[in-house]
Every structure is written in structure tokens, then in C-alpha cells.
Amino acid sequence: MSKVLAYELAHRVRVNAVCPGPVETPLLMDARPDREAFAAQVGKAYAMKRIPRPDEIASAICFLASDDASFITGTALAVDGGRVYH
């Protein structure tokens, strides 16, 4: 979808998608009786062996919105720490 929208809207705006997967937020973590054990278990699915923080996802979004990404459009950026989906 980002490719099609980027093609259609390139004369006015850049279109990109950020694909994060689970993020260490209160919504994800607070409902768990043992946060550390849960984080360790979920972290095993990531090459980086941990769940990403919200600021790490926000940094990717800020980059795509910045002039440093002025020629990036129509992409889906996986900000997932090398997550392996089982």
C-alpha cells in the first residue's frame, strides 16, 4: 500500500510505513505478573534479544519525517530488532 500511495502522491507528500512488532509499552507489560520473565521470553524472538522501547520506534519515524530521508518514499521500514516470527 505504501508503494501505491507513494506513487500516487509523490508530487505532494512522501509515504512510508513503519512496522515495529511488539513494543515495550505499559499496555504490553503491565498486565504481566512477571514482567522480567515475560520480557526475556518475548526477547528470545529478537536477534537483539530484547523488546524495543517506544523511543526506538519514534526515532525511526522522526528519521523518515526528516530531510535526511528526503528521497525515501514507498517503503515499509521494519523496526523490529531482527525479530524472527515463529
Which pLDDT belongs to residue 13?
A: 95
State pLDDT tens for residues 25-74. 999 899 888 988 999 998 898 999 999 999 999 999 999 999 999 999 99
Q: Cell 504481566 sits at which residue?
A: 32
pLDDT over threshold 80, residue 86: no
Instruction: Say if CB 81 and CB 23 are below 8 A apart.
Output: no
What global pTM score does this model have?
Answer: 0.84
The pLDDT score that the predictor gives to residue 32 is 87
Domains (ranges, CATH) in the chain?
2-78 (3.40.50.720)
Cell 521470553, located at residue: 41
